[in-house]
Structure 1
């Protein structure tokens, strides 16, 4: 079986900060091959220095258990630094997986980055 098709999909991470938020935008597949790159960003105290981190998963086309583990570990890490994490997931593969493993009850999930970053 040829696995090159799964690794050719573009995996990208973008980071921007401002107004008390760090927004981490992820696109492509979060799997055993790419989750370590996401982990490096989410665990970087300089890149994710704001009190609230929002992970935008709208561009994610696939996520496996490694991706789930990365998000759960990041949640614990950020909580230990008194920071919060929220996820942006519209209908799609990432949201279906989060619901399947009941993490939609653990993470704050928002429909858009705007909804996740606006004040209380």
Structure 2
């Protein structure tokens, strides 16, 4: 039986970008929902997808794998993915596995969507 975890996704479309705001726990139970959004060619149709991870309270390797797969998929479609996280569990985990050097990481949404 799956454990109940706190998780929410918000989606906004801006000028040339899609903002995906994630909050709560990104783990084996919730990553499929994040993957569904990030791989949706209609929801993420803009040239740039920005994933705001500020409100993420926990992220496991499944969440990291989802972000890596989404980056690979976006690149194959000539799109980009940027992450927003200045501190917290998401940035800490990305740093531990060296992905803070692979992903474009910004401290604010404004910086991530700036031309």
Q: Which runs of 5+ in 2 are unaligned?
A: none
1:72 aligns with 2:68: yes
Bigger CA radius of gyration = 1
After TM superposition, the structure 1 = structure 2 runs for residues 1-120 of structure 1, keeping only pairs within 5 Å, are: 7-119=3-115
Q: Which runs of 5+ in 1 are unaligned?
A: none
Report the structure, 1 or 2, having the larger helix content: 1
TM (norm. structure 2) is 0.96
| 2: CA distance, partners of 1:68 / 1:87 | 12
Q: Runs of at least 4 residues of structure 1 off by over 2 A?
A: 7-10
Aligned Cα RMSD in Å? 1.3
Q: How many aligned positions are there? A: 115
| 2: CA distance, partners of 1:26 / 1:54 | 11
TM (norm. structure 1) is 0.92
